[in-house]
Every structure is written in structure tokens, then in C-alpha cells.
Structure 1
Amino acid sequence: MKLWQAHNSETLMGLHCRALTDARFDGATVNVELARTLFSRVHANTAHVIERRPELITRQPEDAVVLFFVLAGEAFYYSSDGVRILRRGQFVVCDCDRPFMRGFSRHFQELSLKIHRHALFDQTGLMRIQAPRFAEFGGHQNPLANRLVDLIDAATHTDGPRLPDEDTLVRLVERLLGDDDGVDAPRHLAAARRYVEDHLNDPSLSAQKVASAVGISPRHLSRVFASVGTSVPQHVLDRRLTTATAMLRRPEAASMTIAEIAKRCGFTSITHFSRSFSQRFGERASDVRRRATQQRALASSTVSVHRRDMFVDSAIAAESRHNGAIADRS
């Protein structure tokens, strides 16, 4: 077992391994390493467990993502996100630098693909895999995963291996992970919008800052916003203009200059603010403030008249009651 642990720690990632029986461990691997990827074929006839512990991650970070494709037997995958059982025709994508545990039945076989994070980031914009992703392959489902399995299988055959084009592998992983954009995009979009909302008054707010806060690349962030028909700069501008409009309608705006309001909303140029405001709302910011002031004055006047009328009505009613009482005594 110590040899198995040492071999996997050297070739794949730092792992702690232990057998579930006292029997002599029986297993083998074939590994092929290219510039940005490592793919492996593994079979083990002894039930065992491997762990990627926090201390191992600290001591031996991998800065990579790995895909495990189960060919035979069963395996469990356990992490802080829960536990899943994987059988033939299923695979998991996980971050090598997030703790996990995997357990394997006897007569287990799988293929794996490890890809360096910088290659993944360059292609997908993903800096990390926040939670393991599970899916199926084989037959007519998931042709991208099937193609990856075929390439890894051909490269790890001991009899006449055929090395794949690494760019092809990376693009396949990009597209495979891209299939989950529909799941991740709403979460990334919500996080980006929250960050923008909290930093609207920061004149240095940029797509780079938002992307760093969310944990994805600016390019990927652009794709996320494009999926809802806008861009990061346009969203920031829209939110600043909307916030400025709300401020202009408040009573305290009467004692502020338009430049002060623009600055509080993150604008550094009053010219840019005025032009953008007019284009968006079809009127000047000063017009919005003046109309709001007039509406408040009208509302206040209406309330005053209403109160005066109520006072007059009350006085008339009181006098009527008083005169009625005098008539009754007479």
C-alpha cells in the first residue's frame, strides 16, 4: 500500500492511501503526461480508500482540476458537499486543492484526466471548481465526455498508445465544463450584481475588480452578462444612473449640486454623467430634481388646504351643535 501511495502522490497528486483488507494490494496504473495535462488508466483489485487531506493540500498544492471516469466497479466520492456513489458510465470533475475522499470496490477501473489550472482558466475563465460536478457518459449521451474517454483510452493503452493533440483535449474540457454554465452563470451573475451594488460609489469599479471578487476571469464574466443581454460596463452605468435618479427625487437633493450627486454615484466626470443621463431618460438631471421639488411642494400645499378645510368643517359642526343645544334649552 505504501508503494501505491508513493506512486500516486508522485504522478497524480499528494494522497493518503489505505487498504480496507489485510490482503496484499493488487493494482496498476498507466500515466501519460503532456505539457498541460496528465491522463491515467487505473485498475485495482483490492478495495481501498484515498484521501486528499487539507495538510497535504497545504504541503503539496496541485493547482489543477481532475476528471475521473469510472469504467468498472464502484467508488464513492466524499467531500464537504456530501457523498456520491459512482458506477460504470459516470464521472466526477473536482478541484485537486479542495479536500476529498474516494473509496473503491474490488475490481475497479477508471480513466482520469488532470489539467493544470492555468490552462483551464485560459480556456474557460474558471479559476476553481467550487463543488464537484457529476455526470454520465457512454452510449449516445454526453458526446463530449465520450470523446474525452476515447482519447484517454487510446493514449493509455500499453499496446500501441496514440497520443492526442493536447489543444483538442483542453478544448473538449472547456466545452464539457461549459455545459454547466447554465448552472453556474446565475450564481456568478448574482454575486457580480451584489458586488456592483455594494461598490457603485467606487469610481475605480471595473470588470476586472468584479471578476476577481466573483472568482472568474473578466472574459468569463463578460459571457455571463452577455447571457442576459448586457455587459459589465453597461450594467454598472445603468445602476449608477438609476441610483442617481432616486437621489435626485429625495428632499436632500435640493441642497446638493448635480456634480455632488454624480460623484456619490461613482461618476468622475459631470459631462459623462449629464450626457449619459439625458440619453437614458430623455431629460436632464436638473429637470428631474426640479419636478420632484415641485411635486413635493404641490403635495404639501394640498395637505395644508385639506387640513384647513377639515378645520373649517369641524368649526362649523361645533357651532351647529352649540346652536342646537341653545335651541333645546329654550
Structure 2
Amino acid sequence: MSTARVLSTDGIPQQDTAPAWRDWMAQLFNGLQTDLYGDTRFDGHLYVASAGEVVLTRLDAGRHRVVRDSHRLRDSEEAYLKIVAPWSGTAQVHQNGQQASASNGSWVIYDTSHPYEVANPQHTEHLILMLPRRSIVQRGLNPEGLMGRNIGGSSGIARIALETMRSTYQELGTMSAPLAHRAGELLVEMVHLSLQELAGKGTARTQRQALHDRICAYVATHLRDPGLSVEAIATALNCSKRHVHNGFAGQDTSLGAFIQHSRLQLVMRELRQPELAQHTITDIAMACGFNNSAHFSRAFKAYAGMSPSEFRNR
């Protein structure tokens, strides 16, 4: 088998690269939305190869964010589990109220049959794997509750899985089709074992991780409440504010940033909804938990790279 270069902005006029990339992503991935942080030019390359039912992709591209909304999911689509394993840059995955990031030496996994967002805030080179969800379920493991998580990669089976993913992609060009198919089955087994190990850890997860999950769940269900705060969460969970902050110790973002980013993501999703086109941006922001329009506008521009009105017009 040979690695096929399927997408490249090389040779396209610079002013056309950004819209071309957005169109490609929407066409190839059933309406996947792409945000380029306000950039008007884009440099991207996508190389794809298959190992049986497993699709391996090398993405070499500028900063961007992809979003899959619930209204774009189709019953006819096969559900896939998707893995991002960076060589350079970072990938930040948001799904089911969970958020996880990965950089070189680790990998994250999410389910394409549920809404998700993957942010790549800098130039990235990622190895991306897609494998049928049923291939994991058929092995007796329910992936629910394991998605939107960093699997690791520095030790144990997760490290073996990561090394297998990388070496398989690099050697696919020398493999016959039957051998590539067997290599794909091996990849599925490595992912299955890694998820199985993660599920086992879940039964004995640390109190901090359990607290973090409880906080994320509370935030997800109270995001529209302008009174959502550390104090409110502490009261609801019957613990101190310090204990609540401890639940986010070691995370990539603070609890305050997590709440704000979650609200901004909610606003971005609603600004894309055609049925909300008659609502003002301020009304949508207030309905998503913001209580100050000036603060919202500054926060949105810092997060999305453009004003709310520019984002809606795009």
C-alpha cells in the first residue's frame, strides 16, 4: 500500500486557501465545521492511508479548530472512534463535558457519533486514527464514559499502542493489502487494551479525578446560570471552595477558565444555529450565562480570534 496525499493548499492562491480548506473538511467529513481563529490564509496538508478498517491520517496544518454539532450527526453514518496523537503542537478535545489535551508522547480519543470540538491553537503535525466503534464494542467494551480523555502514552499499554500507531503509519507503504489488514486489526486490539486499562483505573480513580468529574458534570448542567461560580459549586457539592479548586489541580486550565471556555463554546454553537438567526448576539450570550456584554465581547474575541458578529457572519 502507498500513502496518498489527498489534500494540500500548495499551489492555491493564498486568499483562497482558507475557504478551500473549510470546504474540503465539510465535504469529506459530513459537514464538519472549521474555524481558523480569524486567519484569512491557511497552510494545510493531509495524507491518508488505510490498514483494513482503520484509517490513518497525517495532518500537517496551521492553527485551526473543528466542531461537530449535534444537528449535523446522521443516523446513516457509521460511528467511529477517533484518536489524535501529536508529533508536534497540541490537540485539545472537548466532548461530553470532558476536556483533555495531548502533545507529543500522548494521545486522546473521542467518538464521532457525539458532538465534539478539537482545538489546535498552533501549527500542528498530528497522527490521526479512525476505527469503527463496533470493533471495540464487539470485544466486550463499552466506550461510553471513556471518550474525551487523555489515554497517556508515556508508559504501559498506552505507550505500546502509540508506538504501534506511529510505526504502522510509517511502514504502510511497504505492506501488501492482506498484511495491512492484519496491522489494522493489531491497532484495534492495542486501542481496546488501552481503553480496557483506562476503564479498570476508573473503578479505583483518585478522589481528585472523581471530584473533577463531578465539577465538570455540574458545570455542564448549570452553564446557562449566570450565578454559576466556585462558591455555587462548593455549596452544591457540600465542600469548601479550596476543595473545589483542588479538583482542577494539575489540569491545563483553571476552573474559572473552564467555565468561561464552556460558555463561549455554547455561544459559538448557538451562533451557528439557523433557527436562532433572529436572536441578537447579546441575547444569545446572556442566555448562555454571561451577564456583561462588554466582558463577553472581549472574551469571545480572545478565544475565537474574531468578534462575535464576524464569527456569526462567517
TM-score by length of 2: 0.50
| Distance (Å, rounded) in 2 between the aligned partners of 1:135 and 1:27 | 27
> Paired residue for 1:275?
none
Q: Retained in 1: the 8 A contact 2:25–2:33?
A: no
| Distance (Å, rounded) in 2 between the aligned partners of 1:137 and 1:102 | 19
**Given the alignment of the two structures, is residue 29 of structure 1 paired with residue 46 of structure 2, yes or no?**
yes
**Given the alignment of the two structures, is residue 107 of structure 1 paired with residue 123 of structure 2, yes or no?**
yes
CA RMSD in angstroms comes to 2.9
| Distance (Å, rounded) in 2 between the aligned partners of 1:11 and 1:4 | 11
Q: Retained in 2: the 8 A contact 1:138–1:146?
A: no
Change (3 A) 1:5 1:129: farther
| Distance (Å, rounded) in 2 between the aligned partners of 1:137 and 1:41 | 18
> Paired residue for 2:291?
none
> Paired residue for 1:41?
58
**Given the alignment of the two structures, is residue 73 of structure 1 paired with residue 76 of structure 2, yes or no?**
no
Give 3-state SS (helix, strand or coil) of 1:148's partner.
helix
Match of 1:4 among 15, 21, 25: 21
Match of 2:187 among 169, 174, 177: 169
TM-score by length of 1: 0.48
Greater share of residues in helix: 1
Give 3-state SS (helix, strand or coil) of 1:89's partner.
coil
Q: Number of aligned residue pairs: give it.
A: 182
| Distance (Å, rounded) in 1 between the aligned partners of 2:144 and 2:52 | 20
Match of 2:71 among 51, 55, 65: 55
Change (3 A) 1:166 1:145: same
Report the CA distance between 1:41 and its aligned residue: 0.5
Q: How does 1:1-330 map to 2 (within 5 A)?
A: 1-12=18-29, 14-44=31-61, 46-58=62-74, 61-126=77-142, 128=144, 131-137=147-153, 142-155=159-172, 160=173, 162=175, 164=180, 165-184=183-202
| Distance (Å, rounded) in 1 between the aligned partners of 2:24 and 2:50 | 14
Report the CA distance between 1:62 and its aligned residue: 3.9
| Distance (Å, rounded) in 1 between the aligned partners of 2:175 and 2:122 | 29
Q: Retained in 1: the 8 A contact 2:98–2:148?
A: no
| Distance (Å, rounded) in 2 between the aligned partners of 1:152 and 1:79 | 26
Report the CA distance between 1:10 and its aligned residue: 4.6
**Which has the larger displacement, 116-125 or 106-115?**
116-125
Give 3-state SS (helix, strand or coil) of 1:179's partner.
helix
Give 3-state SS (helix, strand or coil) of 2:109's partner.
strand
Report the CA distance between 1:26 and its aligned residue: 0.5
Q: Retained in 1: the 8 A contact 2:65–2:121?
A: no
Change (3 A) 1:178 1:9: farther
Q: Retained in 1: the 8 A contact 2:91–2:119?
A: yes
Report the CA distance between 1:133 and its aligned residue: 2.1
Report the CA distance between 1:11 and its aligned residue: 4.3
Q: Retained in 1: the 8 A contact 2:63–2:120?
A: yes
| Distance (Å, rounded) in 2 between the aligned partners of 1:124 and 1:145 | 22
Letter in 1 for 2:39: D
| Distance (Å, rounded) in 2 between the aligned partners of 1:11 and 1:171 | 27
Report the CA distance between 1:161 and its aligned residue: 5.2
Identity across matched positions, percent: 17
Report the CA distance between 1:54 and its aligned residue: 0.8
CA displacement, residues 260-306 of structure 1 (integer Å, 9 cap, x when unaligned): xxxxxxxxxxxxxxxxxxxxxxxxxxxxxxxxxxxxxxxxxxxxxxx
Report the CA distance between 1:116 and its aligned residue: 0.8
Q: Retained in 2: the 8 A contact 1:94–1:129?
A: no
| Distance (Å, rounded) in 2 between the aligned partners of 1:152 and 1:185 | 33
Pick 1 or 2: higher relative contact order, CA cutoff 8 A, min separation 6. Answer: 2
Q: Retained in 2: the 8 A contact 1:65–1:117?
A: yes
Give 3-state SS (helix, strand or coil) of 1:85's partner.
strand
Report the CA distance between 1:170 and its aligned residue: 1.8
